[in-house]
Amino acid sequence: MNVNISTGGLICGAQDKLLLADIRHYSGTHMQSRFSGDSTLLEGVFWFMNPRGDLVYYSDQSRGNRLYLLDLLSGSTQLLIDRPCCGLVLSGDWLYYKSETDHKLYRCLTDGTKESRVTDEPVECFVVEGEQVYYGTQQGIRSCHVSGSSREQLSESVPAHLLKIGDDLLFADTKNQYLLTALHLHTGEAQVYADVSPNSLNSDGRYIYCANRSNDSSVYRIDPDTGSKIRICGDSADHIHILGDTIYFSHRFEWYKMSLTGGQAEKVITES
């Protein structure tokens, strides 16, 4: 599961490259060598990037949010879906995405063929895990098979920034002051984290990381087992991404990075 999609998929690690969308000037997407640090600017503003080997699937904001495939070896791009889409998730042989026309969830094969609709209703956010899809609507949180069958209502909460960690769904509850909430799938019980209201939410599989709007959008790390939380960065942040043991975030529309354990954040690319 690509957890960075819930925060925009604006940063992507593919082979020895680091791709970062320019969200300050929207001039393109930076491709930086992880070894030398040298950077080139690619044409297109890439959102919802999903890497697989030498390929990157993405939605290009500069080309009407259509779905494209980038071959890093040749530098060539291929149009996959010729209409605006967002929230792209690569899972197995399938791409899952929201249509920006009707806001319903669709899927197609990685070559853009065999497109089908997964949900009948508009979707706010979603997670794909194995053969199951978890998704938020204005009527609550639901689940279904990846084909769209076997639909089930899980909660009346209306989520934002939906993530799945173990047997829990993590989200900001739009009906409850956007407070961070964990929905236990086996019991249906919800745990609310007081004083944590994420405007960006991510996880390394162990801890939860969020930009907490309850404290000037500074970065917090939360232990879901104990409920304890600690502020690891005092800068206001958005678009939290995690690659390996590094956390990336935007601050005043520029990209910064730091260790997952905290410390001094450093600028990744200086925009001029």
pTM: 0.95
What domains sit in the chain, N to C, each tagged with a CATH number? 1-84 (2.40.10), 205-272 (no CATH)
pLDDT of amino acid 1: 58
Give pLDDT tens digits for 29-75.
999 998 787 899 999 999 999 999 999 999 999 999 999 999 999 99
* Average pLDDT along the chain: 95
Q: β-pairing, 11-14 with 208-212?
A: unpaired
**How many beta carbons lie within 10 A of that of residue 258, not counting itself?**
18
Give pLDDT tens digits for 177-218.
999 999 999 999 999 999 999 999 999 999 999 999 999 999
Q: In angstroms, rounded to a whole number, what is the distance separating the alpha carbons of residues 14 and 50?
A: 9
Residue 222 has pLDDT above 60, yes or no: yes
DSSP string, 40-90: EEESS-EEEEEEETTEEEEEEGGGTTEEEEEETTT--EEEEESS-EEEEEE
